[in-house]
Structure 1
Amino acid sequence: MKKRHLLAPGPTPVLPDALLAMARPILYHRGPEYEALLGRVRDGLKFLFQTKHEVLLFTSSGTGGMEGTVVNTLSPGDRALVIRSGKFGERWGEICEAYGLQPQYIDVEWGRAVDPDTVAAALAADPAIKVVFATHTESSTGVLHPIEAIARIVGKTPAILVVDAIMSLGVADLPMDAWGVDVVVGGSQKGLMIPPGLAFCAVSDKAWAMVQQSRLPKFYFNFLAERKSLEKNQNTFTPAVSLVMALHESLAAVRAEGLAALFARHDRLARATRAAVRALGLELFADPPTPALTAVAAPPGIEAGAIVKTMRTAHGITISGGQAQLKGKIFRLAHLGYADESDVVLCLAALERTLTDLGYPIKLGEGVRAVQEVLSQAG
């Protein structure tokens, strides 16, 4: 028997208390018990998003939250600016195009962060832009984008800033209100430590003004209808009740750990992983890297898919490879959500053996030593 370990960027391992919550008898979603539960979840989401604004909750993947944001903030003929630096930046543009919009693009080299000055220049060149669509952590490349700087730029214009934080939520600091981000989209299956199936959209007053005027078609992802329901601790349509019960437990765990400690834990695991990668003579792909995952360039002569396959079949560890033009060129080691020091040590030990199995010359123990040196440091 081989024990399995999930160290991919998502879904991520589920918090045990959340698993137990989903095993409980289901609640009637129009009854008082569910209303009380949803009221506590609403408060917990505001704490996590660091906002006073309502956080809408939909039964869907995170992409549903992205699509909902597009159709609730824009109207036919509106101008939008999309930052494309990976698969999920591209997704913003694909959604816009699906609704007949013609977004303007800022294309960024994969593995690099966007320069905020290019956003400022694009907005100055086209004052008609209504929305800037950005990604906090681009999980396909492992990059962390400078959202705080972009928010300062967008905040000086009539446009709103919409951020895909599906990979970052509960992992990297993104104080929505303090930074002036207008819409933050999240998902359940990453840092929130529960299964896929819930999307979140936190909306600022500036963004709500645009929602009031939006004329793109919408039905299920109707922000105004959902806000009205949430004010009564209800959902407009039948929610994924068991997932909301699990979410209640994960939000309680987040509050108990505290946001500062939560972000520090992820940063520490990321620094340890990066140190190990360097110690093994491998090259980090992303600059700057996110604390959610570490993207690594495959060593010369070895296809990244072989590393992913060997990690899974020989060592029972699921990691991820590259996507699109990065397929076969990088592999990604996740360290987010329900993850601790033992996960990072285990992952790097298995990576060392995998590289050895594939004939890449390393000294066994060098990566694990580097991990342990970082983790042994105070803080």
Structure 2
Amino acid sequence: MLLFTPGPTPTPESIRQSMATPTLHHRTPEFESIFAQARLGLKVMLGMPEVLMLASSGTGAMEAALTQLCKSKLLSISCGKFGQRWGKIAQAHAIPHTEIAREWDTPVSAQEILEALRADESIDTIALQVCESAGGLRLDVESIAREAKALNRDIIIIADAITAMGVEPIDTTHIDALIGGSQKACMLPPGMSIIGLSQMALGRIERSAPWRAGLYFSFAQELKNQRKNTTAWTAPTTLIIGLVRYFEIIQALADSPLESALLTPSAPLDEKRLEQGFQAAYAHTKALALATREALAALSLSLYPKSPALAMSAIAHAESASIRKAMKGFGVNVAAGQDHIKDSIFRINHMGLIQAYEASFVINALELSLAKLNLRSFDGRGGAVFLRAFYGIEKGA
């Protein structure tokens, strides 16, 4: 069964093998050297001055960031199920907050956020998603953060990039906390969250009230330890080992095709080659997503969100549940929507280093499923359009 859900994503064999090596104790020089490599890779990927790894899902990192960085009042942006989570965290911790909510296919604008900030000067933190995976929506976080900082340079911007990190370049110039998860583009099992921190966030953490920091999720405590290549509590050692292997694969993309990079031997990480590798990975994912969307259009299928993210293609269709079931019959597992749009959309993942032949098979399985359901005759158009678009082949060439 091909796993094409937007997280967890499939774990390549070489990453699985790296995680299958004998267990290391987390308080040893051997593991500290691995931890240092993981920190280097994350700093290159995020482009932020400091990074943290926590043994938790992404929601744990969201809660930790919000409770330690928001001091006065939160403005939460809800364009989907995961945007709603900011408000739930605020309520659980009795943090004053206000919310801007939109339909799950519609992004909020920077202007709407600026109006909310002007109307309430007590707001000191904005929390939102880069990609709202409930409906495959991309928010223009970079512009929102830039304009919010221009209005109030002291405001904190927390961005959930769980389904955007490692998928596309994110300009973190005006973002103070960027959150990711192991089970998305990094192609690891679930269980580890990632947080990138700005200098402003680091300053606020140093002045954080102890009652807000808590114990297990204390950023100050973790920073003290992780800067020494260890952790305050037991580290998710296997996931961190797998993360380093992921970075080795990314680095190999600097001068190797994807098929070779997935099999490349272990090598020390180099900052410049990592940057080049990420450029190649981002270009590959974008080409995959755009080729998929050309194929979907050729099959007369429409995307759900008004501003689609590159991490996935969310397709609106009245027969979504039947289509997903039929695709499973052809060996492909795609995801439903969330909550009230559960059966009105289905989502095809683009996160991780997906090979073109796998993505092409998904398109063929989709077209076969449409034929099986008497929604469209099968003529192979979807797969042909995908391959032409992905490889840049002009029609008729």
SS at match of 1:133: strand
Check the 8 A contact 1:185/1:202 in 2, yes or no.
yes
**Structure 1 unaligned blocks of 5 or more:** none
SS at match of 1:228: helix
Q: Residues of 2 paired with 1:175 and 1:252: CA distance?
A: 23
Please list the CA deviations of residues 60-97 of structure 1 after superposition, one character each: whole Å capped at 9, or x if unmatched.
Answer: 1111111111121134xx21101100011111111111
TM-score by length of 2: 0.90
SS at match of 2:247: helix
Q: How big is the shift at 1:196?
A: 0.7
Partner of residue 37, structure 2: 40
Q: Residues of 2 paired with 1:96 and 1:13: CA distance?
A: 33
SS at match of 1:8: coil
Partner of residue 351, structure 1: 366
Q: Residues of 2 paired with 1:153 and 1:102: CA distance?
A: 23
Residue type at the aligned position of 1:32 = P
Percent of aligned pairs sharing the same letter:
33
- Pick aligned residue for 1:54 from 40, 50, 53: 50
Partner of residue 146, structure 1: 140
Please list the CA deviations of residues 135-168 of structure 1 after superposition, one character each: whole Å capped at 9, or x if unmatched.
Answer: 0011111111101101111222121111000000
**Structure 2 unaligned blocks of 5 or more:** 254-276
Please list the CA deviations of residues 199-226 of structure 1 after superposition, one character each: whole Å capped at 9, or x if unmatched.
Answer: 0111111112222333325111110000
Residue type at the aligned position of 1:21 = S
Q: Residues of 2 paired with 1:305 and 1:102: CA distance?
A: 39
Residue type at the aligned position of 1:367 = G
Partner of residue 173, structure 1: 169
Q: How big is the shift at 1:376?
A: 2.3
Q: Residues of 2 paired with 1:359 and 1:103: CA distance?
A: 49
- Pick aligned residue for 2:188 from 173, 185, 194: 194
Partner of residue 307, structure 2: 288
Q: Residues of 1 paired with 2:357 and 2:107: CA distance?
A: 30
Residues 1:308 and 2:324 aligned together:
yes
Q: How big is the shift at 1:378?
A: 7.0
Residue type at the aligned position of 2:311 = A
Partner of residue 338, structure 1: 353
SS at match of 1:92: helix
Residue type at the aligned position of 1:201 = I
After TM superposition, the structure 1 = structure 2 runs for residues 8-157 of structure 1, keeping only pairs within 5 Å, are: 8-51=5-48, 53-75=49-71, 78-156=72-150, 157=152
Q: Residues of 2 paired with 1:227 and 1:82: CA distance?
A: 26
Partner of residue 268, structure 2: none
Q: Residues of 1 paired with 2:372 and 2:205: CA distance?
A: 55
Residues 1:325 and 2:340 aligned together:
yes
Partner of residue 298, structure 1: 317
SS at match of 2:363: helix
User: RMSD between aligned alpha carbons?
Assistant: 1.5
Residue type at the aligned position of 2:353 = Y
- Pick aligned residue for 2:247 from 246, 251, 259: 251
Residue type at the aligned position of 2:105 = G
SS at match of 2:104: coil
Q: How big is the shift at 1:54?
A: 1.5
Q: Residues of 2 paired with 1:344 and 1:137: CA distance?
A: 21
Between stretches 281-290 and 210-219, larger displacement belongs to: 210-219
Partner of residue 297, structure 2: 278
Check the 8 A contact 2:66/2:158 in 1, yes or no.
no
SS at match of 2:124: strand
Q: Residues of 1 paired with 2:217 and 2:299: CA distance?
A: 47
Residues 1:160 and 2:131 aligned together:
no
Q: How big is the shift at 1:320?
A: 0.2
TM-score by length of 1: 0.94
Q: Residues of 2 paired with 1:363 and 1:194: CA distance?
A: 35
Check the 8 A contact 1:356/1:362 in 2, yes or no.
yes
Residue type at the aligned position of 1:173 = P
Residue type at the aligned position of 1:308 = R
Residue type at the aligned position of 1:161 = I
